[in-house]
């Protein structure tokens, strides 16, 4: 049976990380923890190790090998022809317990320059499967490795998930150099398996994320940004929610199930502050309740996940694009004519009403552009 290395008993977890990286580089197979179970792993650049991993996977009833990567957009190196839908899903689902199977061709991708045997094993006749595990130990192994790593799938048709290092050790026998025991997985179910094509996606296996959760995560996200996230952007978020739900003839709570997520944030926001009393009152006059709003800071993750980002001023947009140039195609001024939305803070109710008038006009214009949300 394979040796089990108890991560909790190690004097320094980094030593175990380095041992795993070194063993993989030397062509050994290693057992690694993920947030959803234990898997056998090999470095993809080693043809012989990948062959042994494939054989082990077959014996474990894990016919598929999964390519594990350390950053969402590393997937573009392997599927450079990835379409907008696939790019959106990797922003939303990773890192996390979702395996994506790409039907899109890997022409000119790194898979094509791998040894023929390795490329064949990774494709497996059903498309290239990839995941970005959220487990800290295994992420660090990926980060320090010279190449991506291939995993055995977590669950087979006949055998369940390996929920402990001991489970994997008993099943794998002596085929693994060692298995890193990081305790019980965070989740008791395997990763959800999603097939992605150029024109759509489908859930092949529900796991940690249910079909409904995946549908929600794959919806369109609209992000409104101002400075402190207490006046302008909460008003924009509230008005957008109300007007969109009116057009779709549904409640605001049902928007997520209809495929729409609406949020707001501030470039200099403190967390947890309420909307200003004036903003709450002005929107209440229009049938919109933002009394439960809590401010939040703009974060890289939030910007990565948003499909469309609307800023209140040109200055907000310039700041975001300067800090995160990759989002430039998805961020625009809320007004189509280039007009900044006035900042009403401290200026009294008259200015708040004028600000709300501006925002409502611009929100109507945005809604008119949205497919499937028109009258």
pLDDT averaged over 10-residue windows placed end to end, the chain, 375 residues: 92 96 97 97 94 93 91 88 84 91 74 76 81 96 94 85 95 96 95 88 92 85 97 98 94 89 96 96 96 96 92 97 95 95 92 96 93 52
- pTM (predicted TM-score): 0.76
Q: Is position 61 annotated as part of the catalytic site? A: no
Tell me if 194 sits within 8 A of 204, measured CB to CB: yes
Secondary structure letter of residue 269 according to DSSP: P
Q: Which fold has domain 219-369?
A: Rossmann fold (3.40.50)
Tell me if 71 sits within 8 A of 139, measured CB to CB: no
Given the candidates 3.40.50.150, 3.90.550.10, 3.10.150.10, 3.90.870.10, the CATH classification of the domain at 3-215 is 3.90.870.10
Q: Is position 355 annotated as part of the catalytic site? A: no
pLDDT at residue number 6: 96
Contacts of 92 (CB under 8 A, 6+ apart): 217, 218, 305
Q: Is position 232 annotated as part of the catalytic site? A: yes
Given 64, 181, 226, 241, the catalytic residue: 226
For residues 106-130, one letter each, b for 16 or more C-beta atoms within 10 angstroms of the residue's C-beta and e for the rest, the string is beebbbeebeeebbebbebeebbbb
pLDDT at residue number 117: 74
Given 332, 343, 353, 354, the catalytic residue: 343
- Please calculate the CA angle 73-91-217 and round it to the nearest 5 degrees: 155
pLDDT at residue number 105: 64
Contacts of 69 (CB under 8 A, 6+ apart): 75, 78, 130, 131, 132, 142, 148
Looking at the chain, the domain(s) classified CATH 3.40.50.2300 span: 219-369
pLDDT at residue number 374: 46
Looking at the chain, the domain(s) classified CATH 3.90.870.10 span: 3-215
Given 62, 91, 232, 317, the catalytic residue: 232
Residue 353 tokens, joined? 């009403």
């Amino acid at each position: 049976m394979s040796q089990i290395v108890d991560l909790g008993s190690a004097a320094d977890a980094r030593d175990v990380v380095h041992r795993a990286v070194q063993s993989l580089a030397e062509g050994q197979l290693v057992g690694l923890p993920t947030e959803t179970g234990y898997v056998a792993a090999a470095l993809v650049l080693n043809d012989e190790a990948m062959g042994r991993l494939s054989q082990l996977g077959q014996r474990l009833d894990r016919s598929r090998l999964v390519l594990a990567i350390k950053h969402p957009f590393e997937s573009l190196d392997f599927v450079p022809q990835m379409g907008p839908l696939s790019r959106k899903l990797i922003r939303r689902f990773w890192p996390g317990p979702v395996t994506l199977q790409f039907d899109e061709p890997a022409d000119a991708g790194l898979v094509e320059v791998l040894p023929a045997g390795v490329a064949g094993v990774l494709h497996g006749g059903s498309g290239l499967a990839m995941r970005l595990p959220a487990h800290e130990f295994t992420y660090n192994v990926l980060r320090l490795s010279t190449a991506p790593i291939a995993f055995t799938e977590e669950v087979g048709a006949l055998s369940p998930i390996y929920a402990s290092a001991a489970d994997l050790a008993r099943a794998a026998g002596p085929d693994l150099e060692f298995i890193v025991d990081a305790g019980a997985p965070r989740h008791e179910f395997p990763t959800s398996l999603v097939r992605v094509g150029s024109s759509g996606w489908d859930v092949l296996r529900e796991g940690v994320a249910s079909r409904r959760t995946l549908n929600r995560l794959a919806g369109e996200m609209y992000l409104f940004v101002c400075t402190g996230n207490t006046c302008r952007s909460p008003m924009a978020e509230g008005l957008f929610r109300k007007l969109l739900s009116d057009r779709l003839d549904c409640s605001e709570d049902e928007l997520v199930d209809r495929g729409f997520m609406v949020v707001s944030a501030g470039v200099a926001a403190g967390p947890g502050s309420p909307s200003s009393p004036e903003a709450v009152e002005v929107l209440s006059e229009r049938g919109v309740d933002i009394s439960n709003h809590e401010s939040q800071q703009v974060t890289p993750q939030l910007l990565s996940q948003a499909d469309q980002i609307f800023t209140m001023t040109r200055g907000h947009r310039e700041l975001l694009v300067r800090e995160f140039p990759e989002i430039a195609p998805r961020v625009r001024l809320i007004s189509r004519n280039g007009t900044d939305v006035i900042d009403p803070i401290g200026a009294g109710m008259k200015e708040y009403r004028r600000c709300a008038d501006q925002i409502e006009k611009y929100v109507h214009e945005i809604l008119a552009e949205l497919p499937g949300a028109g009258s």
